[in-house]
């Protein structure tokens, strides 16, 4: 299944920081949650944009993980 719909125009050329800002502009204040929403939106097509957002989401949650206390 493929569509011409994109979550964020020009996502292919965005740096991580630019993509996070674009996700926040689209979905709210929290970067990780906003990226997760973009991932969910792109999931339906499961194309390259989905992979982009999923990879960025995984980077974000790995950075925020501080271990179990």
Residue 29 lies in a domain: yes
**Residue 42, in any domain of the structure:** yes
d(CA 1, CA 35): 22
- Could you count the other beta carbons within 10 Å of the beta carbon of residue 27? 18
Domain with 19 in it: 14-63
What's the DSSP call for residue 7? S
Tell me how many domains the chain contains. 1
Domain for residue 34, yes or no? yes
* Per-residue pLDDT tens listing for the chain (69 residues): 445 678 899 999 999 999 999 999 999 989 999 999 999 999 988 789 999 999 999 999 888 765 665
Query: Does some domain include residue 46?
Result: yes
Q: What gap in Å lies between CA 69 and CA 46, rounded to an integer? A: 35
pTM over the 0.85 mark: no
């Amino acid at each position: 299944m493929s569509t011409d719909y994109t979550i964020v125009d020009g996502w292919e050329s965005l740096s991580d920081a630019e993509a996070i800002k674009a996700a926040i502009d689209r979905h709210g204040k929290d970067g990780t949650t906003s990226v997760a929403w973009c991932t969910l939106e792109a999931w339906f097509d499961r194309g390259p944009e989905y992979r982009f957002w999923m990879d960025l989401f995984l980077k974000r949650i790995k950075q925020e993980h501080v271990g179990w206390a």
